[in-house]
């Protein structure tokens, strides 16, 4: 098949268009490639960019603390300036506890002898002088009645029956006849020892020099009338 030259085809199209028998769109001519299309056709296709890797999922939220852990975290902390005091506190408590210890009971001497004699009085006055049938010797009660140890020695010696008058003691209490006369069973020295025990140990009175001297043999004991025994 013989190829028709391009210039003849172009001339034929021009005549037909002039006669109104064809439109430019029907010409069938292939338009010349534009610069853009040429550049597109010439340029190589860029390599496809690889998709970014998928990010790992976020870690799960932490579990809430148990109530006792929350309470520990929320509680007030001890201020630093209080730490020295807390370190010294155990030592202070140890020293304080030692001061509260009951002093050991005397095993010999006038007070020990007075404690032995008082065992016969405990049935009325209580084992520690707390009172019972007889009056209490604790909490200052003894000193309210007998501020002078000599009067107490006479009371223990004479008893209710031998005590002159209807009242006794600094408070003038009425006699009820319950106090026995210990001068018939105890010596003047033993009476002085039990009176000292009642005053110093049971009632907490400070040692009285004259009474101490009597019980330690540095002065003569007193008889039932309050006079030194010759």
Res 91: pLDDT: 77
CATH number at residue 165: 1.10.760.10
| pLDDT confidence bin for 177, thresholds 50/70/90 | confident
Res 191: pLDDT: 96
More confident residue, 164 or 83: 164
- Asked whether residue 55 is assigned to any structural domain, the reply reads no
Res 59: pLDDT: 83
Number of domains observed in the structure of the chain: 1
Task: With CA atoms as reference, report the closest residue to 200 among 134, 122, 143.
Answer: 143
- Asked whether residue 181 is assigned to any structural domain, the reply reads yes
- Asked whether residue 72 is assigned to any structural domain, the reply reads no
| pLDDT confidence bin for 153, thresholds 50/70/90 | very high
Burial of 193 (0-12, 13-18, 19+ CB in 10 A): buried
**Residue pLDDT, tens place only, 10-49:** 777 777 777 766 555 554 445 554 544 444 444 555 555 6
Res 15: pLDDT: 77
Burial of 130 (0-12, 13-18, 19+ CB in 10 A): middle
- Asked whether residue 180 is assigned to any structural domain, the reply reads yes
Res 14: pLDDT: 78
Res 62: pLDDT: 83
Q: What is the mean pLDDT of residues 99-111?
A: 67
- Asked whether residue 49 is assigned to any structural domain, the reply reads no
Domain residue limits at 149 = 110-215
Q: Say what the pTM is.
A: 0.55
């Amino acid at each position: 098949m013989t190829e028709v030259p391009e210039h003849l085809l172009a001339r034929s199209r021009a005549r037909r268009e002039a006669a109104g028998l064809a439109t430019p769109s029907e010409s069938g001519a292939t338009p010349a490639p534009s610069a853009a299309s040429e550049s597109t056709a010439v340029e190589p296709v860029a390599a496809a960019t690889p998709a970014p890797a998928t990010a790992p999922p976020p870690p799960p939220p932490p579990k809430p603390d148990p109530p006792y852990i929350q309470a520990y975290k929320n509680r007030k902390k001890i201020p630093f300036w209080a730490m020295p005091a807390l370190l010294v506190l155990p030592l202070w408590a140890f020293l304080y506890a030692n001061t509260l210890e009951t002093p050991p009971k005397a095993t010999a001497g006038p007070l020990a002898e007075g404690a032995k004699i008082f065992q016969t009085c405990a049935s009325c006055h209580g084992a520690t002088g707390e009172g019972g049938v007889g009056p209490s010797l604790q909490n200052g009660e003894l000193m309210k009645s007998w501020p002078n140890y000599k009067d107490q020695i006479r009371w223990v010696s004479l008893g209710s029956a031998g005590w002159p008058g209807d009242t006794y003691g600094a408070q003038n209490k009425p006699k009820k006849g319950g106090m026995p006369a210990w001068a018939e069973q105890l010596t003047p020295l033993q009476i002085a020892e039990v009176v000292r025990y009642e005053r110093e140990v049971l009632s907490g009175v400070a040692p009285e020099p004259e009474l101490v001297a009597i019980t330690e043999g540095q002065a003569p004991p007193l008889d039932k009338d309050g006079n030194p025994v010759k």
